[in-house]
Amino acid sequence: MDLGLDGAHAVVAGGSKGMGLAIATALAAEGASVAVMARGAAAIDEAVQALKAAGAPQALGISVDMTDDASVSAAFTEVASQWDQLNVLVHTVGPGVGAFEDLDDDAWQEALDLGTLSAVRSVRAALPLLRAAPWARIVTLAAHSIRRQSPGLVAYTAAKAALASLTKNLAKSLASEEILVNCVCPGTILGAGFTEILRDTLAEEGLDASDPRDVMTYVKNHYGHPADLGRAGLPEEIAPIAVFLASRRNTYVTGATVNADGGSDFV
């Protein structure tokens, strides 16, 4: 299926690792020029090389602090210096986790900054470029935990639930301009959060952080969010969903909240 992305221009915020990188790479493979925005310079450089290898006509890497409006604005000004229009914005940035009694006001503010307000900043900065294009799509990544509550994810879930609501509202606000806006809600995905941050924690329980079934066992034991398929997902399994929603081929899906969680009671 031709997704109509050949020659398109896309920005993936949080595109240097995990699901963001998988989505950026899939967009590149469809012929889109892609700019990834993230913090770490080394990961950005690696992502740019991966995009070029995947076939992106142009690959940009931009270091940005998504909690700082001036930094986000400067990042999109850099995009505008390269491209006079933007077809796709994918926002994958998210906060950390923690239980209610472990979180002070600063931790709550950080969660909302990363989980919700970062998307507000990136959409606001991207809109002039999106409006300049003949067609445009916005895709955000929330989480299936917005409808499967867990005490250990209280601020994360609140921020992502607000993001899903924001996405739905943007779909209504921008429908008259035919800018389609959708939200993908992944379940447990095997990414850097497990393979880097929680590797030792899982090892203490005799679990392998690189094994999707062991990761799901950990999530089931600690968060109560098992998947019917019995394993964590892979970033590459989320990318095709986001890329279709971000594509020119998608002409009628807007305001949707799409779960991709390996099977659950998410409705």
Predicted local distance difference test score (pLDDT) of residue 267: 57
Instruction: Please give the Cα distance from 137 to 56 (Å, whole number).
Output: 18
Q: Is residue 212 part of a domain?
A: no
Predicted local distance difference test score (pLDDT) of residue 223: 81
As a whole number, the mean pLDDT across the chain is 94
Across-strand partners of 180? Answer: 137
Global confidence as pTM: 0.95
CATH number of residue 249's parent domain: 3.40.50.720
Residues 121-139 have a mean pLDDT of 98
Q: Is residue 241 part of a domain?
A: yes
Residues 69-81 have a mean pLDDT of 98
Quick: pLDDT tens for 200-236: 888 999 999 999 999 999 988 888 778 899 999 999 9
Q: Is residue 145 part of a domain?
A: yes
3-class secondary-structure state, position 7: coil
Q: Is residue 227 part of a domain?
A: no
Q: How confident is the model at residue 11 (pLDDT cuts 50, 70, 90)?
A: very high
Q: Is residue 222 part of a domain?
A: no
Q: Which secondary structure element, helix H or strand E, spans residue 43, and what is its range? A: helix 41-54
Percent of the chain with pLDDT over 90: 82
Neighbours of 68 (CB within 10 A): 14
Q: Is residue 97 part of a domain?
A: yes
Sheet strands side by side (includes 9-13): 59-63, 33-38, 9-13, 88-91, 136-141, 179-186, 257-260
Does the pLDDT at position 40 exceed 80? yes
Range of the domain at 62: 9-187+233-260
Q: Is residue 144 part of a domain?
A: yes
Into how many domains does the chain fold?
Answer: 1
Q: Is residue 151 part of a domain?
A: yes
Does the pLDDT at position 168 exceed 60? yes
Does the pLDDT at position 53 exceed 60? yes
Residues 20-49 have a mean pLDDT of 97
Predicted local distance difference test score (pLDDT) of residue 219: 87
Q: How many CA atoms lie within 13 A of 27 on its CB side?
A: 34
Residues 228-246 have a mean pLDDT of 96
Predicted local distance difference test score (pLDDT) of residue 1: 85
